[in-house]
């Protein structure tokens, strides 16, 4: 009986929040080796607020690991997200890309700029035209990534991949090597922001070269969040609060 009352109370409070909240559409794109599972807790928090959330998994990763093959490239990933937008008939999308996901959302914006309300790069790669993820990594590619290339995949470099489910798994190498085309002038009209993860108030200089420095050069609003690179795993509630700040600030302009 106690559990029934608790569930009823939760449903009632959620309904009350939803009634006073204007629903927004978030499309959350994960980073390399990951999957939509990474955003599960973030998803739950936004849905309680009454928002609509999509957190697709890119081809060959997560629960779609059975589709992994050597021909999966960055274009495949971009199509994964573009097709979610088109087939779900989404507009006014708040498109968030974490880490490698910055490559993906940059390519998505090129194809469907009219569907996107805001771009948010979460400690993410920010490519220039004709750059691949390898290019964006710069010196980090040779120092840290090359050693994990095996056959047609890039192994997870931060621990044993596949040790737990859900968990990070090897990613097709072509997704790191294919350049992204950035030429659509309409993309420049999309409000864009960058969230940088910090430790003791300081960001990582090597990571800054991959995203933060470019965001500043482009005049984007920059927000900081104290914590590790995987904010959605380590502090989902704080990440939601930061995303709220970014979205609210943009809409308050």
For 100, phi then psi, to 5°, come to: -55, -25
pLDDT at 205 over 60: yes
- The secondary structure of 57-106 as a DSSP string is PPTTSGGGGGG--TT--HHHHHHHHHHHHHHTT--SEEEEEETTHHHHHH
Query: Tell me: the pLDDT tens digits for 21-68?
Result: 799 999 999 999 999 999 999 999 999 999 999 999 999 999 999 999
Query: pLDDT tens across 115-141, in order?
Result: 999 999 999 999 999 999 999 999 999
pLDDT at 20 over 80: no
State the CB neighbour count (10 A cutoff) for residue 128: 12
Measured distance CA(118)–CA(102) in Å, rounded: 13
- Indicate the domain borders of the chain: 25-251
pLDDT in tens, 176-193: 999 999 999 999 999 999
Q: What is the pTM of this model?
A: 0.91
DSSP 245: H
With bands split at pLDDT 50, 70 and 90, how would you rate the model's confidence at 165?
confident
Nearest to 218 by CA among 75, 140, 102, 138: 102
Asked if residue 39 lies in contact with residue 232, where contact means CB atoms within 8 angstroms, the answer is yes
**How would you class 245 by CB atoms within 10 Å of its CB: exposed for 0-12, middle for 13-18, buried for 19 or more?**
middle
User: Sorting pLDDT into bands at 50, 70 and 90, what band is 164?
Assistant: confident
Torsion of CA 69, 164, 57, 106, to 10 degrees: -90
pLDDT higher than threshold 80 for residue 89: yes
pLDDT at 10: 44
Q: Which residue in 145, 17, 11, 22 sits closest to 94, CA to CA? A: 22
Taking only the tens place, the pLDDT of each residue in 215-247 is 999 999 999 999 999 999 999 999 999 999 999
Q: Which pLDDT score, from 0 to 100, does residue 42 have?
A: 98
**How sure is the predictor about 3, in pLDDT bands with cuts at 50, 70 and 90?**
very low
Average pLDDT along the chain = 92
CA angle 20, 122, 42 (to 5 degrees): 45
Q: Which CATH number fits domain 25-251: 3.40.1190.20, 3.40.50.1820, 3.40.50.970, 3.40.630.30?
A: 3.40.50.1820
Mean pLDDT of 69-91: 98
Average pLDDT over residues 77-102: 98
- Average pLDDT for 86-98: 98
248 compared with 5, residue with greater pLDDT: 248
Run of H or E including 249: helix 236-251
């Amino acid at each position: 009986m106690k559990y029934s009352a608790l569930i009823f109370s939760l449903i009632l409070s959620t309904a009350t929040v939803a009634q006073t909240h204007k629903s927004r559409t978030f499309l959350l794109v994960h980073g390399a080796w990951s999957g939509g599972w990474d955003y599960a807790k973030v998803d739950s928090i936004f849905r309680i607020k009454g928002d609509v959330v999509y957190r697709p998994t890119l081809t060959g990763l997560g629960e779609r690991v059975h589709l992994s093959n050597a021909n999966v490239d960055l274009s495949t990933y971009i199509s994964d997200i573009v097709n979610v937008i088109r087939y779900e008939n989404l507009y006014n999308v708040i498109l968030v890309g974490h880490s490698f996901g910055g490559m993906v959302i940059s390519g998505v914006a090129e194809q469907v700029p009219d569907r996107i309300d805001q771009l948010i790069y979460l400690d993410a790669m920010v490519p220039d035209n004709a750059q691949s993820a390898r290019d964006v990594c710069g010196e980090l590619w040779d120092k840290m990534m090359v050693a994990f290339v095996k056959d047609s995949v890039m192994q997870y470099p931060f621990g044993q991949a596949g040790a737990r489910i859900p968990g990070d798994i090897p990613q097709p190498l072509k997704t790191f090597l294919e350049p992204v085309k950035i030429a659509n002038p309409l993309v420049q009209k999309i409000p864009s922001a960058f969230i940088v993860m910090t430790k003791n108030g300081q960001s990582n200089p090597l990571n800054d070269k991959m995203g933060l420095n470019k965001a500043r050069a482009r005049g984007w609003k920059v927000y900081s969040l104290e914590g590790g690179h995987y904010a959605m795993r380590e502090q989902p509630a704080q990440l939601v609060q930061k995303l709220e700040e970014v979205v609210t600030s943009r809409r308050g302009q």
